[in-house]
Amino acid sequence: MASSPEHRGESVRITWLFGGRRGGAKQSCTFTGPEKARLKLALAAKALVESRGHDITRDECYAAILGSPVEVDDAVPTFKMWAEQWTDELRKTKALQADVLKRYVRSLELRAYPYFGHKRLTEITREDVKSWVTTMKSTRVTYGNKNRSTGIGLLKATTIHSHFLITGSCLAAAVPKWIPVSPAAPKPGQRKNEFGLPKIGPSEGMFLSADEVRLILKNCHPLIRDLVFVASRTGMRIGELIALQGRHVVFPQGGGATILVRQALKNDGQVGDPKSAAGKRDISVIGEAAEILARRIRGRKLTALVFPTLTGLMWNPVNLRLRYWYPALASASTCAEHPPAARTLPKKGPTRPVRISDFPVSSCECQGRLARWPRFHDLRHTHASVLIANGWHFKKIQRRLGHARFHTTMDRYGHLADLGDPEELQGLEDFLAPATRAARPRHRATVRRRAVARSVVVRRAAF
């Protein structure tokens, strides 16, 4: 709600956040004049702001209370109006997949509208964008869709970059129809990080050892053990594994099996194309992974899921993690000699989502137990790290993982590459050493000593 009238000397001020959301642009109106008159105007402004659901700007509030005209170009849309037109056009042209477009809309509603939504495109400046980025860097994460709750941590750097790119794309689409240049586009000659975006550190992926993978598989419920095994042998995303059908697995004459990744479960719960065009790929497997695939599709329809639930339906990724993946990690993290204290949830009271902390684990440092808590996606990171350790070319790894861009593979796994040992570098030295020595300029003292030595040899030869 709008703040109570704040008396500031001979004036009274009220403040509010546009849209009533945390992170919304701060608005304020200040009234002067006789004490009773200015207080009456401030209370009227407060009531107006709250009646509009805080969806009113400072100038609009002044215009409504004082009757002063607001000089704006009605032909120029506000950012919210333009963003809605932009997303509708993307939806009609199907330029983005449905789940990606939904993420765009959610990002705009959650982060951009509260700050830019009320402003017309011509009113948004570069300083506004910088201020918005600064606000996001101090914003805490939120959970839920309707009744959103605030978490402890701040927004991650990757999340802020994602919001910035989506909003920047929206502003860039308004060029040149409404604005000559996007206020979120870097100026030529300016420093690279003009808007103060946080630096993105190295990949936070967890690379498991062979013993850790075997320990997790040992503690997996039989219903997901095959799925986890194939995930570690293919590096497939969880949505690609869940949507895999029997018609997508073929068995070449040379042995093994080939998985044809052609669809995936999207974030909106629908089955569609993989994450990108590069996601449509063929993955070859051998050994036990091929045997598992052959056993699971034998005698079943081609459209049947390879890894269904107990009732034959498609997995919900959240349920899979909460009901099977986390319990497997908790079991693998438990020490037989130092069992953790059991945690009991209250039987009464409001229900809440299950948390990782609800799964008790041992805190000892004994060997033979899982000391880390990996995500399911870390099986994909582990798969890539093993391929690198076995000398696979990064281009092959890119195609196997389905990355759209080569630099994605290098950014995430390039630090795992073999940088060369002394024996390998010796070949470089052997190749360049002769040329380097011949071109190296000699010190004057060295030249003088060698000249004297040659003259002594010549004199001795004369006698």
Per-residue confidence at 9, pLDDT binned at 50, 70, 90? confident
Residue 140 domain-assigned?
yes
Indicate if 316 and 432 belong to the same structural domain: no
Whether residue 436 has pLDDT greater than 60 = no
> What is the rounded average pLDDT of the residues 342-350?
60
Indicate if 255 and 370 belong to the same structural domain: yes
- Residue 246's CATH number: 1.10.443
Interatomic CA distance for residues 136 and 74, integer angstroms = 30
Residue whose C-alpha is closest to residue 232's, from 411, 381, 400, 369: 381
Indicate if 328 and 280 belong to the same structural domain: yes
Per-residue confidence at 449, pLDDT binned at 50, 70, 90? low
Whether residue 258 has pLDDT greater than 50 = yes
Indicate if 275 and 156 belong to the same structural domain: no
Indicate if 271 and 318 belong to the same structural domain: yes
Residue 80 domain-assigned?
no
Q: Which two tokens stand for residue 335?
A: 């020490």
Residue 189 domain-assigned?
no
Indicate if 292 and 248 belong to the same structural domain: yes
Per-residue confidence at 63, pLDDT binned at 50, 70, 90? confident
Q: How many other CB atoms are found less than 10 A from the CB of residue 36?
A: 8
* R_g (Cα) of the chain, nearest Å: 32
Whether residue 338 has pLDDT greater than 80 = no
Its pTM stands at 0.67
What are the pLDDT digits (tens) for 147-182? Answer: 455 666 789 898 999 999 999 999 999 998 999 889
Please check whether residue 97 is in contact with residue 272, taking contact to mean a CB–CB distance below 8 angstroms. yes
Indicate if 152 and 268 belong to the same structural domain: no
Instruction: Give residue 59's domain range.
Output: 6-66
Residues 6+ apart with CB under 8 A from 311: none
Q: Which residue has better confidence, 198 or 32? A: 198
What are the pLDDT digits (tens) for 84-129? Answer: 999 999 999 988 888 899 999 999 998 999 888 888 899 899 999 9
Indicate if 129 and 244 belong to the same structural domain: no
Indicate if 164 and 304 belong to the same structural domain: no
Whether residue 458 has pLDDT greater than 70 = no
Average pLDDT, the chain: 83
Could you say which of 344, 378, 412 is where a domain stops? 378
Could you say which of 378, 412, 447 is where a domain stops? 378
Whether residue 443 has pLDDT greater than 50 = yes
Per-residue confidence at 71, pLDDT binned at 50, 70, 90? low
Whether residue 29 has pLDDT greater than 50 = yes
Could you say which of 144, 173, 202 is where a domain stops? 173
**pLDDT at residue number 53:** 81
Q: Which two tokens stand for residue 320?
A: 């899979």
Residue 11 pairs in a beta bridge with: 8, 32
Residue 414 domain-assigned?
no
Indicate if 372 and 234 belong to the same structural domain: yes
Residue 167 domain-assigned?
yes
Q: Which two tokens stand for residue 18?
A: 């546009």
Residue 226 domain-assigned?
yes
Interatomic CA distance for residues 169 and 167, integer angstroms = 5
Whether residue 135 has pLDDT greater than 50 = yes
Number of folded domains that form the chain: 4
> What is the rounded average pLDDT of the residues 16-34?
78
Interatomic CA distance for residues 14 and 27, integer angstroms = 8
> What is the rounded average pLDDT of the residues 1-14?
81
Residue 308 pairs in a beta bridge with: none
Residue 125 domain-assigned?
yes
> What is the rounded average pLDDT of the residues 199-227?
90
What are the pLDDT digits (tens) for 381-391? Answer: 999 999 998 98
Indicate if 101 and 60 belong to the same structural domain: no
Indicate if 60 and 100 belong to the same structural domain: no
Query: 111: left (phi > 0), else alpha (psi -120 to 50), else beta?
Result: alpha
Whether residue 202 has pLDDT greater than 70 = no
3-state helix, strand, coil in the chain (%, to 5): 50, 10, 40
Residue 410 domain-assigned?
no
Whether cis (ω within 30° of 0) applies to the bond prior to 180 is no
Q: In 422-441, which positions are buried (b, 16+ CB within 10 angstroms) versus exposed (e)?
A: eeeeeeeeeeeeeeeeeeee
Per-residue confidence at 450, pLDDT binned at 50, 70, 90? low
Give the start-end residues of each E strand in 279-430. 281-285
